[in-house]
Structure 1
């Protein structure tokens, strides 16, 4: 890799195709994991694409999740009622770290920033998941953007 990094994490990871590969690898691991598989009882292949599109937007790629899939509010609502435990969150992070090491470029800072995002996001998902389905979350705000320095907005 040259000394110059791409401006965005989206470019650095390799765009939407890399995020699709990451999502496929990750969910293969999740669905095979006895602790995590029950959280994804209603899993469909569409979920993989939605996650890739979400990550693209978070990492400053196209805003397709907001434009087509309901944005940040929809993502939060999808986690309501899941009752994610800290043990499940930590295992989720382990499976994701394995997928990141397999699918993303060998750039330690890039991998660290991506995993920092997942750590931050899974903590929010765990908190939201404790509320029952249908809970009014109020205004979720725009999709967060994550960059080389972490949360940008």
Structure 2
């Protein structure tokens, strides 16, 4: 590892840490619960759900292992989506509202961060739709949490 790589922040750090992810999901789920397409899917979820989603995404982006050590696991997150019968329209709307919310709360908008953020949202929502349309999974219960990094850009743009 070069000295340059040691100074590259995680996506979690670049975004602003846990407060940024909790603000994102709080504002996002406020929109979801007033959205004609998504409200029926999420109306029965507890307010803890939005906090769990914040902790899950934060951990995936290099934050503390709060989700996997205190709230669940990757396997348990997959299990929560089974048989929910999400559609591509649900996925697209969920992703669009999340990106809209990211802009509204001023999540970093540099191309490098947004490229990684959008890539994860695309990947994660597509996995959720796939898993929501099956009854069970052969996934290993000890499957580790996904880890998302900067990808091709390799780090934030610093002028």
Q: Would you call these one fold, judging by a TM-score over 0.5?
A: yes
Deviation at 1:6, TM superposition (A): 4.3
Pairing partner for 2:121 from 114, 118, 121? 118
Name the residue aligned to 2:112.
109
CA distance in 2, matches of 1:126, 1:12: 28
Structure ID, larger Rg: 2
CA–CA distance in structure 2, aligned partners of residues 60 and 49 of structure 1: 17
Q: In the aligned structure 2, how far is the partner of 1:64 from the partner of 1:137?
A: 25
Please give the TM-score of this superposition, normalised by the length of structure 1.
0.88
- 2:68 alignment partner in structure 1: 66
| Residue 27 of structure 2: aligned partner | 25
Q: Which residue of 1 aligns with 2:151?
A: 149
For 1:136 and 1:148, the matched residues in 2 are separated by 29
Task: Pick closer, same or farther for the CA change 1:98–1:74 going to 2, 3 Å.
Answer: same
TM-score norm. by structure 2 comes to 0.85
> Aligned partners of 1:138, 1:11: CA distance in 2, in Å?
30
3-state SS of 1:12 partner: helix
Offset, 1:136: 4.0
Number of matched pairs? 145
Gaps of 5+ in 1: none
Runs of 4+ in 1 over 4 A off after TM superposition: none
CA RMSD of aligned residues (A): 1.7
Q: Secondary structure at the match of 1:145?
A: coil
